[in-house]
Each structure stands twice: as structure tokens, then as C-alpha cells.
Structure 1
């Protein structure tokens, strides 16, 4: 069995990872997660304000702009990743409709009920407590609005998979907390969030580079957990 990699706290990890982190899905897990998320995001977002909580390098901000969102706001705890997002979005003429803000997912620097659609992709597992993060996503979303959340599937965590990356010739992992479906169900019930859909995307073998080393079980199990939630009131 492979020895676990040294785990870094998210801000320290992304300060290192940001230099090589592109504004698109760049590994098979992200590709599987993104297919499931994009299938749930409306094709036409004209007139909508989209909030990306934990926006990273800006990949979902750009998807929202491509689908016609009138306004997009990205929040991330990592200054280095926000710089990557700013650079990526600066290449697009729609960047004038973008606001990027540094802040914690559990205390975002945005007004309440700002978003028609809130996206939180592969970020919530960086927080140890699920319910406070979901409460903040709910606060930022208008009543009746949707929240789309994805996370690394807890099955992978149980099998010892880590969210790893390479920087400076070394491999590291980002600290990650496993949130089970039962945790999501309980938190949503307590907060007045309706769970409308749950997806468990699996890897597409076509996305796996030739010669890649990975756990063969990854082809037999879901790699992400994706929720479509609605703020009831």
C-alpha cells in the first residue's frame, strides 16, 4: 500500500498548487465531477447572478459567463488561486461582469440572497464542519434559488485516496474531511434546504492518460458526490 502523502492545510496547499493549477478540469476526477455539475446548471443563465463559493482558478465562473450569466461573483480563501482566476478571466471580454473576493466559505464577504444560483465545487471537503458551510451557502442564495455542491466521494476517502498535487518536485495532499450522505441529509433538513437531485459520477476510462498509476477500484466506484439543493424559504 502506498504511504500517505504529507497533508497541507488548504491555504498552504493552494499557495503551492496555484502555479500549475489551470482554469479547467485537469484530471479524471474533475472531469467526471464537471460533467455531472454542468448537466445540472441551466444552459441559459441570462439575467441570473451566479455565485461560485470556493471559485479557485475560475473554471465555473467561466462556464457561467459562457451560458450568459448577467453577473458572477467568485469567493475563495486563497489569494494565489484568486490571482489565477483573475488572470484567466481577464482574457475574456465578459470579465467586467465579474467580482472576485477573498473570503472563507463559512463567512463569505457577500450580501444575503445575492445569488440566483450558487456553485460550490470540490471545496466543502476542505472544511471540517459541513452544516456551517451549507448555512452560509443558503444565506447567500435567494429564496427559491438553487445550490449545486460537489465533493470528492466519501468512498475514496475510506479507501485512502488523497487530493494530491506536485509542486517543486514534491508531492503533497490537501487536507480533506469526509462528509457522508447522512451528514448532508441531516444538515439540509436542519437548514431548510431541499435535496432535489444526487449524482455519483464515475470515471470515464477515456479520460485516464496512458500509463497513469491509479487504484483500479476507481473504475468501479463513484469518484464524486454531487447535490442539487434548493433554498425553500
Structure 2
């Protein structure tokens, strides 16, 4: 694993996950672009979303992912998040059947109860990946899928940019960020017993440049990645 401190080019003050997302909750929906994660979900071919009966949304945040799943015909979604302020937004949104305050690595949800487990923009906040993959495995039914969308390590390495937000005082605040190579994800997933069935990477393209003209210098860098895993047994 690469230490983020070795590649940090921003020098923003850094806070822990619960503190950071607690402060970011009120403006999160206005700052996270759908092209970062939801566009990758849209591009996947393996999950037939309308066939999913129940999903576990790990690191559910404000409910963006669950709302997207509901829009694709998923009838039941349970959510877990560490931050009460984010859960309050998700609760008001009303797209989850159940919301739990908890750690994505130890959710307390029922084993084998979900034919889809999903996490989006979560793993860069974890020092180790294996506990997340093992918990997803525990939650998934045999034949179930785990879909993970990640902040791409190549983008972090190339730009030195952590996950960050702007606080009420106009200051940029970083949230604890770890750099996990794609190979680390593959290794952790395989160790947990998953079979990798699809992967997509989202590049900085014209859509991104329209949203963030200053990112022209990052054109064609991969900014996010989606991995799809299946539990065989």
C-alpha cells in the first residue's frame, strides 16, 4: 500500500471519516458528481438490476446509490453508514428499508441475506481492504454479487488529491485517505472468496471537463473504477 502522505500535493488539514462526513453531509449532494460513480454503475453489464430482490448498501451516505438502485427496480435496500449526519439525510430521502449506524467491515446485518452488496467511494477510507471484502462475502447469498466503486488510485497518485470538501468557512478539509492499488483490491477480493466477473474504469473525458474545466490537464486519467464480484459458494 502507498502511504497517501507520500503523494499528498494539497496539504489540506485532515480529519477522520465520521468528523469529515459529519460536516460534509449538508453539501455532499451538491459536490459529488454522478459521473464519478453512478455513470459507472450504468455502464456495467453483469448486474441485471431489475432481478435484484434485496441489496445491502455499505457506506450508504445520503442515499444516492440506493435511490439509483430503486430507480432500476431494486425493491428493497438496507443501508449502513458510520456517520449519523449522513444517515439523517438518507432517512429523509426515504429510499432505504432499514438504516443502521455502523462500520462497513462489521455491519451487524444478517448473513447471506442479500443478492447484491454494494459500496461506493468507501474503500479509500479504509486502511485495509480484506475486512470489507469479507463482510460483503458474509452478507451475500450464494450466487450474489458485490459491486464496489472506488476512487481510482492512479488519479490519487497522479494528482495528490485526497477525498475532500469545503467547510462553512471556505476551507478545504481532507478526509482520511488511503491509496489502494487495483491489485490490492483484486488480491483482497480473491482472498475473501470472490470471483471477479467485470471491471470498468471511468476516465476524465469531455463530460468531466465540462463540469471541471481545470481538469483538462488530467484528461484520460482514470478517476474511478467499478469492480463486480460473484459469490460462487
2:25 corresponds to 1:18: yes
Superposition deviation, residue 210 in structure 1: 6.5
2:67 equivalent in structure 1 = 62
Within 2, Cα distance between the matches of 1:200 and 1:209?
A: 19
Q: CA deviation at 1:43?
A: 4.2
Separation of aligned partners in 2, 1:88 and 1:5:
31
Secondary structure of the 2:104 match is coil
Aligned length: 222
Cα deviation for residue 122 of structure 1 reads 0.5
Alpha-carbon distance between aligned partners in 2 of 1:3 and 1:155, rounded to the nearest angstrom: 16
Distance 1:128 1:2, change over 3 A: closer
Q: Does 1:34 align with 2:41?
A: no
SS for the counterpart of 1:19 is: coil
Map of 2:5 onto structure 1: none
Note the C-alpha offset of 1:211: 7.0
Cα RMSD (Å): 2.1
Alignment match, 2:50 = 44
Instruction: State whether residues 153 and 225 of structure 1, in contact with CA within 8 Å, keep that contact through their aligned partners in structure 2.
Output: yes
Q: Are the structure 2 counterparts of residues 150 and 211 from structure 1 closer, same or farther at C-alpha, using a change threshold of 3 Å?
A: closer
Q: CA deviation at 1:212?
A: 4.5
Aligned to 1:100: 99
Deviation (angstroms), 1:45? 3.8
TM-score by length of 2: 0.87
In the alignment, is residue 132 of structure 1 matched against residue 145 of structure 2? no
Give secondary structure in 2 for the equivalent of 1:185: helix
Q: TM-score, normalised by structure 1?
A: 0.87
Alignment partners' CA distance in 1, 2:232 and 2:167: 43
Distance 1:117 1:78 in 2: 22
Residue 156 (structure 2) aligns with: 157
- In structure 1, C-alpha distance between the alignment counterparts of 2:25 and 2:120, rounded to whole Å: 16
Q: Is the 8 A contact 1:150 1:226 kept in 2?
A: yes
**Structure 1 unaligned spans of 5+:** 90-94
**SS state of the match for residue 107, structure 2?**
coil
Distance 1:32 1:211 in 2: 12
**CA distance in structure 2 between the partners assigned to 1:114 and 1:38 by the alignment:** 24
- Contact 1:113 / 1:139 at 8 angstroms: preserved in 2? yes
Residues 175 and 82 of structure 1, relative CA distance in 2, 3 Å threshold: same
Are the equivalent residues in 2 in contact too, given 1:45–1:70 (CA < 8 A)?
no
- Residue 82 (structure 1) aligned with residue 83 (structure 2): no
Contact 2:40 2:225 (8 Å CA) reproduced: no
SS in structure 2 of the partner of residue 118 of structure 1 = strand
TM-superposed deviation, 1:70: 2.4
Change (3 A) 1:138 1:224: same
Task: Give unmatched runs, 5+ long, in structure 2.
Answer: 1-7
Change (3 A) 1:211 1:182: closer
